[in-house]
Amino acid sequence: MAKPLLAAQNIQFGYNVDKMFDDLTLHIGANDRVGLVGTNGCGKSTLLKILSKTLDVSSGEIINNNRMVLSVVDQFVPDHLQSQNIYEIILAQLPTDMRDESAYLVDIMLKDMGFAAADFGKNINQLSGGHVNLVLMARALINNPDLLLMDEPSNHLDVEAIVKLEEFFINHYKNAFLIISHDVELLDKITNKTIFIKDGKAYQYELAYSEARVEFLAYEKALKKQRALEEQEIDRLSATAKRLATWGREHDNEKFARKAKSIEKKIDKLDGQKTETFNRNKYSLNVKTDKLRAKTLLEVQDYQVKTLDGARDLYKVDGFYINNGDRVILLGANGLGKSTFVKNLVEKFGQEAGKNIRFNPQVSLGYYDQEQEQLDGSKTIFNYLNDLFDFPDLDIQRAILQAGFSYDEMDKKIALLSGGEKARILFTKLNLQQPNFIILDEPTNHIDLYGREQLIRQLTSSGATLLIIGHDRKFCNIVGNRFFMIERNKLVEIDDSSIFYQSLQSSTPAYTKTESEAKQESNQTVMDDDEQILERVLELEDLLKADLGRKAKHQKPALQQQWQVEISELYEALNA
């Protein structure tokens, strides 16, 4: 077996009296592309610090190849880089004497990450959170490390940028890496090994996440089965020992008494050797909803979505409705105004019905905002929820405990909570509110894989009516039963999410127009040359053919007409 690039052996680590890692062991080889997974709070980020030797352990050893180049993707922009442009930030990572001759590597790296050349001069503080993550990754990659450590690099990225990230790791970066991520599709596409962190130990599988998870769950099931058999045998022996001891007393039989004591010793030995099983996950995500008999909950007609300052038009919403039981997914790149639209809806709720936006009077609206701005950081967990709901203290406490918090943590200030803990408070709020219509803006951003699976089960089985903005492809595909995308300055319904994902294959670089830079555009697609025009024509013809091939009730005549008009315009452009 080849010597690993990096290994952790018998790691012991904890904060105060709480033990986080107990005899944890793992290894990463030169060809390993590792997904590190586990529930929130299990120590994944802490483990990255230990592996990069920026955090000392109580005992154990980190062993790495002396010639290995290790690089860590920063989670936050260092203060001294805030005013620099992204090109300079990456170039500065190269040795001074190599910068002139190797500057072209920065161009290649940024383009591989999906940036346009026009974006190279932008300061990093002008970028969205997702594109900041890409710059920090490029900064870590520019020296071609042997091993790259990444902590949730896809957080805040839209689907288009995540696809670019996947393409980069599949087609361009060939060395080893370890990535913490809760995006199942990303893990399945770019990794070949999975390490689960559970109860302070590491469990390694030479498989991508979904296949590894099947193996890990089978292992967990086998442990439980073995433990049950052992406990069954202990119960049988205990009953026998009790019966013998009783007979010994009743019949004054020393032989029975000795036999009972011998069996009791055997029971003590078996009890000390019982198979260890995993602890149950500490929290559950519940989303309870009220039922509404009305058919239509929301209608939006002839509504223009604008930038937050109202200065520019973004896209038009017309003929948009949500019926009881609909689970609507809004798809689109970051910065197009999806969150602006739902914020406008939330703002209009409770106001007198207008001509553009109308809620059914029976609607009770629940809202989860991606920035978690609803939370009052100055309050404790208990006080925040207790102030919102006129429920008995015991009901509030029970809901908090169910969300995975202890009694002691109920008095913890919300400002001190992690993103994942804040997400659990927001879902606890929804659970107590029990609305009949819920708007969720990026609900999976801070939730681990276990929480996402729970949330999917809850949302799909509850009969809830939902409007969701999301970039987690697996979550959206399973939960959604209607899909909308922003196309040519309009919000249009599509038959399924694959149409949107296919449109990304011929899309422009990931960082192009943001909401703050949006300008009114004509409906005519602008193409640079004949080759691009032909690509767009082929794409539109494929979409048209696919839609015409569906059953009549599933076809989208409005989209078909729109595509046909654009095809005609493109042919005219070719003949010009």
Q: What is the pLDDT at residue 29?
A: 93
| 314 has a pLDDT exceeding 70 | yes
Q: What is the pLDDT at residue 576?
A: 58
Other C-beta atoms closer than 10 Å to the C-beta of 121 total: 11
Q: What is the pLDDT at residue 554?
A: 56
- Token pair 């710059």: residue: 135
Q: What is the pLDDT at residue 511?
A: 37
291 lies in a domain?
no
Of residues 295 and 397, more confidently modeled:
397
| 134 has a pLDDT exceeding 60 | yes
Q: What is the extent of the structural domain holding 566? A: 530-574
542 lies in a domain?
yes
> 16 and 80 share a domain?
yes
Q: What is the pLDDT at residue 282?
A: 63
What number of H helices and E strands is found in the chain? Answer: 18, 20
508 lies in a domain?
no
Distance (Å, whole) CA 137 – CA 231:
50
Of residues 393 and 352, more confidently modeled:
393
User: What are the residues whose beta carbons fall under 8 Å from the beta carbon of 206, sequence distance 6 or more?
Assistant: 192, 193
Main-chain phi, psi angles of 195, to 5 degrees: -120, 120
% of the chain surpassing 90 pLDDT: 39
pLDDT (average), residues 59-67: 88
183 lies in a domain?
yes
> 50 and 192 share a domain?
yes
Distance (Å, whole) CA 200 – CA 26:
12
Residue 52: both structure tokens together: 């990069």
| 522 has a pLDDT exceeding 50 | no
Q: What is the pLDDT at residue 523?
A: 35
Mean residue pLDDT of the chain comes to 85
pLDDT digits (tens, 9 = 90+) for 145-174: 999 999 988 877 778 788 888 888 998 888
CATH code for the domain of 78? 3.40.50.300
Q: Answer for the pair 233, 259: CB distance below 8 angstroms, yes or no.
A: no
Q: What is the pLDDT at residue 251?
A: 82
Confidence of residue 507 (pLDDT cuts 50, 70, 90): very low
146 lies in a domain?
yes
Of residues 555 and 378, more confidently modeled:
378
Q: What is the pLDDT at residue 518?
A: 37
509 lies in a domain?
no
Distance (Å, whole) CA 190 – CA 165:
9
Confidence of residue 336 (pLDDT cuts 50, 70, 90): confident
User: Which of 192, 214, 236 is at the close of a domain?
Assistant: 214
Residue 105: both structure tokens together: 């590597």
| 526 has a pLDDT exceeding 50 | no
| 201 has a pLDDT exceeding 90 | yes
> 166 and 204 share a domain?
yes
> 333 and 431 share a domain?
yes
Structural domain total, the chain:
4
- Which long-range contacts (C-beta less than 8 Å, at least 24 apart) are formed by 100-109? 105/142, 106/138, 106/142, 109/138, 109/141, 109/142
Q: Answer for the pair 13, 21: CB distance below 8 angstroms, yes or no.
A: yes
> 254 and 323 share a domain?
no
Secondary structure (DSSP) of 125-193: GGS-HHHHHHHHHHHHHTT--SEEEEESTTTT--HHHHHHHHHHHHHT--SEEEEE---HHHHHHH-SE
User: Which of 214, 242, 257 is at the close of a domain?
Assistant: 214
pLDDT digits (tens, 9 = 90+) for 269-279: 998 888 888 88
| 535 has a pLDDT exceeding 80 | no
Q: What is the pLDDT at residue 383?
A: 95
pLDDT digits (tens, 9 = 90+) for 78-129: 888 888 899 999 999 988 888 888 888 899 888 887 788 888 888 888 887 7
523 lies in a domain?
no
User: Which of 475, 495, 515 is at the close of a domain?
Assistant: 495
> 264 and 326 share a domain?
no
Residue 9: both structure tokens together: 């052996």
Of residues 310 and 86, more confidently modeled:
86
277 lies in a domain?
no
| 526 secondary structure, DSSP code | P
| 545 has a pLDDT exceeding 90 | no
Q: What is the pLDDT at residue 574?
A: 62
pLDDT digits (tens, 9 = 90+) for 28-38: 999 999 999 99
> 201 and 253 share a domain?
no
Q: What is the pLDDT at residue 530?
A: 61
∠ Cα 507 510 512 (to 5°)? 90
| 280 has a pLDDT exceeding 80 | no
> 546 and 562 share a domain?
yes
For residue 476, how many C-alpha atoms fall within 13 Å in the half-sphere facing its CB?
29
> 21 and 138 share a domain?
yes
- Token pair 């805030």: residue: 82
Q: What is the pLDDT at residue 284?
A: 65
pLDDT (average), residues 480-486: 92
| 419 has a pLDDT exceeding 90 | no
Q: From its phi and psi, is residue 485 left (phi > 0), alpha (psi between -120 and 50) or beta?
A: beta
> 192 and 314 share a domain?
no
Q: What is the pLDDT at residue 341?
A: 92
| 470 has a pLDDT exceeding 80 | yes
> 347 and 485 share a domain?
yes
> 113 and 143 share a domain?
yes
